Every structure is written in structure tokens, then in C-alpha cells.
Amino acid sequence: MELSLQGIANKKEWQDKGFALPSYDIKAVAERTRKNPVWVHFGVGNIFRIFIGGLADTLLNTGAADKGITCVESFDFDIVDKIYDAYDNLVLGVTLKADGSTEKRIIGSLTEAVKARSSVAEDWNRLKAIFADPGLQMVSFTITEKGYALKGADGTYFPFIAADIEKGPEAPVSAMAVVCALLFHRYKSGKMPIAVVSMDNCSHNGEKLKAAVTAMAAEWEAKGFVDSGFTAYLNDESVVSFPWSMIDKITPRPADSVCAELKKLGVEHIEPVITSKKTYIAPFVNAEGPQYLVVEDRFPNGRPALEKAGVYFTDRDTVNKVERMKVTTCLNPLHTALAVYGCVLGYTLIADEMRDPELNKLVHQIGPVEGMPVVTDPGILSPQKFVDEVINVRIPNPFMPDTPQRIATDTSQKVGIRYGETIKSYVEKYGDAKKLKAIPLAIAGWCRYLLGVDDSGNPFELSPDPMLQTLRPVLEGVTVGKPESYTGQLASILSNANIFGIDLYKAGIGEEIEGMFRELIAGKGAVRAVLKKYMA
């Protein structure tokens, strides 16, 4: 049994083994989509393949759509070669249930995979042709929060962004420059409408995406690469919209247990690969069952009928409330706290952390206790029910192979959203954030994590983060077991509004975090002792 168009032609063999197969003609859908694309997506990793691709697959299976998604990768081109082309763009989706059972599904809605390489004429001309098509309705993104960042913590453009600004729209490299250049091509092709939709897990994602694209356009205009009409085009939301959205589905890296189950059933060549960019990815995707996508219904050129696949369409204010509920209160802050403390305490599975009394208490304090006072009920989803599902069903699922090491990736890019927003809300509501205890403890835990030494005094490898080279030197000289080695080194981090969205000293909690950090570095076992002290 091979995951390929030829391999799944023997439908009965797959179905007898419990795999659901597309009911539509995959080749015909791909051909229609190639000729007249309606939806292009940047960032073709796991959550896209099983969630977004699964939505399109559902529409195709039910006859609510007749075209799939054009997939574009702007960062790790090996994914196109090793995961898309090698398997005829098919995805094997595996849903992991809390009772240990699985649902297995072949997804055929990802009709084409293109590398966003302006240096390769074939790739670049294909993308330009896609963006020049009048029928293109939307371009969406799951490129992670850092994909929208143009500047570092010091407020200056990253070198690769500065290079894209200098080169102009003919030779872009970064994702935002590529998208801006392709929108410029659409503008030149007839100023046609389109929706540009971030589906990434970050606050005000549509606003961040628009800010990045329009900033690039403004720099190009200043250098004479584009005209003022293009920047006006991007800023006219009746023509080019940037809808906000909230996405939620836990999608961990491919699990060995899932791979073994699939091989036992007879699926061949299904093993994960590690790309040259260190992406760990497989032909299959394993994920939890619960999933949420809430999107602002602003599509100037029409859109697929995604509400028929369970997507919530609403107004921007409601999206913002749902997103704030999830990203700043009910899920992501809990995950980040479990990630950093899990790494320091030697955990390798998030679900196991929920059986740790102190860590369980920590997430209960961060979400239901400290977060709820500043959450506005969005109406379409209940914050209390949502956080209850997260804490009691989703995170504790023992069959979800999610690790604190994965979640700890890029934490510097997340803490401002996951904690900074609640801190700012407390300052606005109470004058300062001194009522908070668990959130400062989570931030202190992140700072302790940055030392790369566990609670037993052993070194561990930090997860990838674009600011490690900036943050680690700040803490040089701070030594676990020597609390006197801490002499205020955190001040430049905790006061950095580019990291937290607010100066934590002005919020009234900077000194408290420093005190907690000093306790956390007291010696072996200090992390556990501090958790017991504050989570008593």
C-alpha cells in the first residue's frame, strides 16, 4: 500500500484497513484548480495539510466545491520535493482520540505545490500566473508568527528583509516580500480584488500581515520600484482585504507510534524525514480531533463555502474576541508555561505534565483564574467551556505525542502575545498587573529555561528561537546554584516592549519576576521548590 494516486487506486484494500478515501476525482480537481486557481496557501506544513487541507477535502467530498488549494512553500523547499511531489500531493491524516483509537483519512485537496523562488523562472512565472488569474479569491498563510516579522528587537530591519527592500519586487526572497511582489503583479494585471488571510496562531494576525505587506510596499515605493497606486490598492480593503482569523488545532510532530501503526497496516514508505532546514515531517500528519477556525467574513472576490466544513464566519470584533480568548487566555499561555517548565523539569510529553500537581495548578491559575477576568465572551464560543476542554480533554490526551520541546520553539516571538496582552489588560483595568502571580511565574520560568540547564543541573538543548543569540549573552554569568550571580541581567529583557508588548517594570511586575528568577536559580531542585511555593 503506497501513498500515491496509483497506490490508492485499489480503494477496497485501503477501505478494508479503515482508511477513508476521497470520493472525488483527484486528477480532475487538480486540473481544474491549475487552470483556474481560487485559493493559494503559503506555509505547507502539518497544520495546513490536515486542517486547512482537510476543510477543502470535506467541501470536495460533499460537492460544495470543485477545486482544491494551490500550495506554496517560501521557507523549506525540501518539503515540496520530499513530502508533496514524492506522494502525488496526497496527505494521510490521522486523528488521535483520547480513548486510543484513530481515524485515518487520505486527503486529496492539495492540488499543486510550488516553491516560492523568484530566482527560478519556472517557479516564479507559475506564481505570477496564479496571482494574475481574475478568479483567485484568497491567499492564506500558516507561516508561524515569525514569518510576518520584518524587524528585530532593536527596531531595525532584519538583514534579509533589508536585502529584499534593496532588490525590489523582481527578486524577493522572504515570504512577505514574495507576497508583496505577487500582489504587485496582480495589481499590474488589472487591480483585481483578493482576500489576504492569515490563519496563523497570533493576535490580530490580519493586522500583522497587512502591516508587513504594506511596509514592504512603502519601502519599495520610496525607492521607485512601485507606484503610489499600488500602495493605495493594498490599503483599500474593498479591493484587497486582510481578514482576521483564529485557528486552533494541536498538531504535533509525526509520532513514531503512529508511523508504526500505519506500517503494520501495510502502508509503505511512510517514515518521517528531516529536511535541510531541520523540519521533521512525514507523509502522514497526526493531530487531535478538536479544531476551530473563525474568520472575518471580508472577501472582495468571493470565497469557498468553508462554513459548510465547520468554519465560523463573523465580524472582526468577534474574531478578535475569540482569538484573544484562545491565544491570550485559554490555550496558548498554558502551552507556553508547560513548554518551558517541562523542558527544565525533564518532561518529554505535554500530557504527562498535566499529571504533575504543580504544573496542573499553574495552568489552572494562568487560564481560569488570572485570564478570565479580562476575557470578553465572544458569543459564538464559551470561554469557560473552551478552557475546560483544553485543560480536561485536549492537553491531557495521552495519545497526543506533543512535546514541551516543540512548543518551546520561538517562545521569544510568543510571550508578548500569550502573556503581554493579559498584562496590558490588567494595567488598563487595575492600574498595574500586581494581582498576577502565575503569569509572572511563567515568564520567570522562560527566563530560567534560557539558561539551558535543567532542575538537576544538567545542560539541555534549547529549542530553536530567532532571539537566542540576543538573549543568551544577556544571561552570561548567571549560574544555577549561585543566586548571587544574578545582578539584574534580566532588566533589558523584561523592559523590552518589543518582546512583551509592554515594559514589565512599568506594569508593576518586573521586580517580582526578577525575585522569582533568583529563587529558580538557587540550586538543584529549586525549580520544583519554587513551583510548590507559589502553587501551594
**What does pLDDT average to over the chain?**
95
The per-residue pLDDT for range 277-296, each reduced to its tens digit, is: 999 999 999 999 999 999 99
**pLDDT over threshold 90, residue 404:** yes
Residues 350-358 have a mean pLDDT of 95
Nearest CA to 107 among 119, 129, 128, 90? Answer: 90
Strand order in the sheet with 245-248: 245-248, 292-296, 312-314
What pLDDT does residue 376 have? 79
pLDDT score recorded for residue 99 = 84
Q: Is the pLDDT of residue 202 over 90?
A: no
- Is the confidence at residue 446, as pLDDT, over 90? yes
| pLDDT at residue 444, rounded to an integer | 98
243-277 tens-digit pLDDT: 999 999 989 889 999 999 999 999 999 999 999 99
Confidence bin at 323 (pLDDT 50/70/90):
confident
| pLDDT confidence bin for 352, thresholds 50/70/90 | very high
CA 401-390-395 angle, to 5 degrees, is 20
- pLDDT above 90 coverage of the chain, percent: 92
**Residue 114 scores a pLDDT above 90:** yes
pLDDT tier at 422, thresholds 50, 70, 90: very high
d(CA 109, CA 427) in angstroms, rounded, equals 46
Q: How many CB atoms lie within 10 A of CB 497?
A: 13
CA angle 139, 253, 472 (to 5 degrees): 90
**What is the pLDDT at residue 375?**
86
Q: Is there a contact between 345 and 358 (Cβ–Cβ < 8 Å)?
A: no
Residue 100, pLDDT score: 82
Lowest-confidence region among 104-108, 114-118, 319-323, 507-511: 319-323
Pick the most confident of 58-62, 198-202, 275-279.
Answer: 58-62
Q: pLDDT value at position 399?
A: 84
**Predicted confidence (pLDDT) per residue in 142-158, tens digit:** 999 889 999 987 899 99
pLDDT category of residue 26 using cuts at 50, 70 and 90: very high
Straight-line distance from the first to the last Cα atom of the chain, in angstroms, rounded to the nearest whole number? 54
pLDDT > 70 in the chain, percent: 100
CA–CA separation, 21 vs 504, rounded Å? 52
- Reported as a pLDDT band with limits 50, 70 and 90, residue 210 is very high
Query: How far apart, in whole angstroms, are the C-alpha atoms of residue 388 and residue 402?
Result: 19
Confidence tier at 426 by pLDDT (50, 70, 90)? very high
pLDDT attached to residue 402: 87
CA separation, residue 155 to residues 411, 428, 496, 498, 499 (Å): 18, 25, 11, 8, 11
pTM for this structure?
A: 0.82
What is residue 101's predicted lDDT score, i.e. its pLDDT? 87
3-state SS track over 105-117:
EEECCEEEEEECC
SS3 at position 94: strand
Q: How far, in whole angstroms, is CA 192 from its chain's centroid? A: 29
For residue 17, name the pLDDT band (cuts at 50, 70, 90): very high
Whether 8 contacts 90, CB under 8 Å: yes
